[in-house]
Structure 1
Amino acid sequence: MSVFVLVHGAGSGAWVWYKVKPLLEQHSHTVIAPDLPGHGKDKTPLADVTLAAYVERVCQILNEQPEPVVLGGHSMGGGIITQAAEYCPDRIRTLVYLAGYLPENGQTMLGISQEDTETLLLANAVFSEDQLAVSFRPEALKQVGYGDCSDEDMALVQALLIPQAAAPMTIPISTTPERFGQVPRVYIECLQDYTIGPSTQKRLYTALPCKKVISMDTSHNPYLSAPQTLAEHLLALA
């Protein structure tokens, strides 16, 4: 049996995995879906939410496990698991990017978005007065990331989505071939994605080749719209 550690994306929390987690657990796998600092039930102040804090939380969890894990990251979580793999590569069996940022050494997640010609993310971003946080126009949420999600899903998202600290998106990822580069990678692309456009996802996994690329004909958030199919893909990697 495998240990899955699933890292959520921007503005989200452990709650995003609530449909997928039991589908993996019913096959006797262990699933850990943490709230990153400042997300969900974690009350870290926004000013203290950094990329380093995110990565430290993930590495702490990895080091607590009895065996190397399948480490999944959705969206922003992709950048986080990339940096975590540089710091603790021996604690990871496989990296799984779910429509996630897969930055090369020196890239930032914001920089990747700025080069994305298909994304609707930045056009609908709203920064706080102090520039510490970014949220998204509520009326654009469905179009940007949840196009195939039900009204029930959208009610949950609108109730639980929070402003995202801007700082983690602007910090360059630092990796080496000797550490991050030695951890096997799988990419799950979402073909109806307007958060990280399909062309950008392809560019990312082409620049840093993955041992397997899986395609899902969904929006950016298939853990809500296609949980059974997503779970089946993850189970195949166990």
Structure 2
Amino acid sequence: MVGTAAQHFVAVHGVGHGAWVYYKVKPRMEAAGVRFTPVSLAAAGNNGKKLEEVRSLHDYTTPLLEVLAAVPAGEKVVLVGHSGGGYPAAYAMEKFPEKISVAVFVNALMPDTKNRPSYVIDEYLARTPPEAWMDTQFPTYGDPPITALVVGPKFISDSLYNLSPVEDQALGHLSVRPGSLFMEDLATMDKFSDDKFGSVRRAYIVAADDKTIPAEFQRWLIENNPVAEVKEIKGADHMPMFTQPDALCKCLLEIAQKHAA
């Protein structure tokens, strides 16, 4: 699959991760002839902020907003959000709908316009048994307190990266930082709007063997907020960019070719 040279993909990561998760995807996408810009959100990856300085979804998403603000007038990007990065992607869709041709949610949390922004996270947490979190911790920081998320080594190896190569598991152990889903902020935010967030075409890529956000819940997200196209990657754990990078790139290029013309 070869992309259109004018296409520009902008990708964000899940909680605690960074632009580094796309280290296999970026060269593959560029070899297909497209631009691929992975972004580290605030206090994530190689971003210099500390989590204690990030108080809201807006603060967290600011690096992505800056990238989109710099997109020339009349041009559009394909926006990719993975895992918890579905929320920064949705926030960017709300702020810059005219800059995004299609948004691709890769086994990601995907909000809707009917319910409060925290709705799908509340559903996810309610459906996830406590033992599934293994050695993950949920400390708080700041005043008023914000709930952080600190994944432990067992959760990385046995849930997030359970099918990933051992080298990628090691990369995760070395690179993952504390993060947050900013649930307190989401609980008080206005709903995402139909005329902004809802106006951007959406596609969803299901990771069939994800133990962290199970495929069943991914399909519930799609039922809750239907999308223009659904693709599925078999043999993909929570990190399809590690376990199935060729299949992920193929899906992204096919979605862009069909929906970003």
User: What's the TM-score, normalizing by structure 1?
Assistant: 0.92
Distance 1:117 1:185 in 2: 25
Query: SS of the counterpart of 1:71?
Result: strand
Q: Residue in 1 aligned with 2:233? A: 216
Which residue is 2:193 aligned to? 176
Distance 1:171 1:198 in 2: 24
- Structure 1, unmatched stretches of 5+, are none
| Aligned residue in 2 for 1:43 | 48
Q: Secondary structure at the match of 1:178?
A: coil
Q: Which residue of 2 aligns with 1:192?
A: 209
What is the CA–CA distance in structure 2 between the aligned matches of 1:8 and 1:166, rounded to whole Å? 12
Q: CA deviation at 1:7?
A: 0.5
TM-score (norm 2): 0.84
Displacement, 1:170? 5.4
> Cα offset for 1:70?
0.2
Partner residue of 1:228? 246
Q: Which residue of 2 aligns with 1:81?
A: 89
Equivalent position of 2:63 in the other structure: 57
Write the mapping of 1:1-238 to structure 2, written as runs, cut at 5 A. Answer: 1-49=6-54, 50-66=56-72, 67-105=75-113, 106-108=116-118, 110-117=121-128, 122-128=133-139, 130=141, 132-167=147-182, 171-172=186-187, 174-217=191-234, 218-238=236-256
Could you report, residue by residue, the CA deviation over 1:106-138 in whole angstroms, capped at 9, with x for unpaired residues? 132541321334796545421336465321231
1:83-126 superposed Cα distances (whole Å, 9 cap, x missing partner): 21111100100000000000124132541321334796545421
Shift of 1:28: 2.2
Which amino acid counterpart does residue 23 of structure 2 have in structure 1?
Y
Aligned residues: 238
Residues 71 and 169 (structure 1 numbering): CA distance in 2 closer, same or farther, change over 3 Å? farther
CA distance in 1, matches of 2:192, 2:140: 33
Q: Output the aligned Cα RMSD.
A: 2.1
Q: Distance in 2 between matches of 1:119 and 1:235?
A: 37
Distance in 2 (CA, whole Å) between partners of 1:32 and 1:64 is: 13
Task: Tell me which amino acid in the other structure corresponds to 1:213.
Answer: V
CA contact (8 A) 1:190 1:215 kept: yes
Match of 1:53, SS state, is: helix
Secondary structure, aligned partner of 2:59: helix
2:259 corresponding residue in structure 1: none
Q: Aligned equivalents of 1:168 and 1:21: distance in 2?
A: 30
Give the match's secondary structure for 2:149.
strand
8 Å Cα contact 1:14-1:34 kept in structure 2: yes
Please list the CA deviations of residues 178-218 of structure 1 after superposition, one character each: whole Å capped at 9, or x if unmatched.
11111110000111112112111111111111110001121
Task: Report the AA paired with residue 36 of structure 1.
Answer: L
Q: Once the 2 structures are TM-superposed, how far is the Cα of residue 237 of structure 1 from its aligned partner?
A: 2.4
Query: How far apart, CA to CA, are the structure 2 residues paired with 1:14 and 1:37?
Result: 11
Shift of 1:168: 5.5
* Distance in 2 separating the partners of 1:200 and 1:98: 13
SS in 1 for 2:39: coil
State whether residues 116 and 196 of structure 1, in contact with CA within 8 Å, keep that contact through their aligned partners in structure 2.
Answer: no
CA contact (8 A) 1:36 1:42 kept: yes
Which 10-residue stretch deviates more, 53-62 or 161-170?
161-170
